[in-house]
Amino acid sequence: MITLHQAGYHGIALPDYGIGLDGSNDSTSCVFTSHAHADHIPRTNGQQVYATPATSRLMSLRGYQEPITETEYYQPVETDRARITFYPAGHILGSAMIFVETDEGDLLYSGDCRTPPSPASEGFDYPENIDYLIVEATFGLPIYRWDSHEVLFDQIRKFASDTLNQDATPVFFCYNLGKAQEVMHALAPLQQRVQIHGAGYPLCSVYDEFDINLGNYEAYNRETVKGSILITPSNTRDSGMLNHIKPVKTAYVSGWAAVESRRTQLNVDQLIPLSDHLDFFELIEWCKKLHPRHVYITHTPNSDVVMHYLSQEGISSSGLFSSM
């Protein structure tokens, strides 16, 4: 059994190996970062930090100031007692699962992951023969089952085209890193002008650099936004950003859009449940395929349902750190 400690907000430490996963504490000398979403960026102070090149660039653009050792997928890092390798996680550009090989067994930390992978990511891949799996279960309830990317991308394009044909401005509410660029990638074949919120705009350059087609885009401009497609986080609506663009039609793009009550909560015209996390069934299927000795479940309000389904498959599991 490999000892696991909580490290920081969402992070995990392997104290016997000096390794931090998305977090650090006094025991960690090397910290591996799965991706550039804020809750996974570690607070570090002089430790050696590793990330994929895309994640490293996104972290820097989001204000992370410590040095980062850029490490490609499949390029192992050797420490005195372990070997650590990044595998593509399919969640957002640069996202990685972290594979740690030790004398006590081999552990895979999923970070946030998605299979089938986001078409705006490097794909999804993992090593054979895993002893321990630490997996996120953000959508770990059987009410969550996603449609295919083809179906959801068609919905995105249809919503945009229909709205533009009605001489209205289509607005997609989505998170600034990952979901925004995935929606832009889905919209690219329409060859329409897209504007993206100022906080998301600089992050798009990293997608360009890694050859993900984001189409014809520019930063949000109050004077010229009318008639283009707008991509912005849902909380920007409160700032009155949309007040001068009329008429508009709004769509909320998120795994949480699977919950119908969000339509009235957010007052949007359409819900598009495009997620960059595993749905419940994808999670169980993947665990069955891997069949590790033990599964640790994180990022979930309640791990009991996942544990129940895994036990029916003969897979032992537990929630990791009840506070997570």
Contacts with Zn ion, residue ranges (CB under 5 A): 37, 112
Q: Least distance (Å) from Zn ion to the CB of residue 95? A: 7
Q: Least distance (Å) from Zn ion to the CB of residue 161? A: 29
Residue 237 or 277 with smaller CB distance to Zn ion: 277
Q: Least distance (Å) from Zn ion to the CB of residue 277? A: 8
Residue 106 or 276 with smaller CB distance to Zn ion: 276
Handedness of CA 281, 259, 300, 104 (dihedral sign): positive
Q: Least distance (Å) from Zn ion to the CB of residue 136? A: 6
Residue 18 or 42 with smaller CB distance to Zn ion: 42
Residue 219 or 321 with smaller CB distance to Zn ion: 321
Residue 170 or 178 with smaller CB distance to Zn ion: 178
Q: Least distance (Å) from Zn ion to the CB of residue 39? A: 5
Q: Least distance (Å) from Zn ion to the CB of residue 222? A: 30
3-state secondary structure string across the chain: CCCCEEECCCEEEECCCCEEECCCCCCCCEEECCCCCHHHCCCCCCCEEEECHHHHHHHHHCCCCCCCEECCCCCCEECCCCEEEEEEECCCCCCEEEEEEECCEEEEECCCCCCCCCCCCCCECCCCCCCEEEEECCCCCCCCCCCCHHHHHHHHHHHHHHHHHCCCEEEEECCCCCHHHHHHHHHHHHCCEEEECCCCHHHHHHHHHCCCCCCEEEECCCCCCCCCEEEECHHHHHHCCCCCCCCEEEEEECHHHHCCCHHHHHCCCEEECCCCCCCHHHHHHHHHHHCCCEEEEECCCCCHHHHHHHHHCCCCEEECCCCC
Residues 216 and 222: beta-carbon distance below 8 Å: no
Q: Least distance (Å) from Zn ion to the CB of residue 204? A: 17
Residue 178 or 292 with smaller CB distance to Zn ion: 178
What are the beta bridge partners of residue 294? 132
Residue 101 or 112 with smaller CB distance to Zn ion: 112
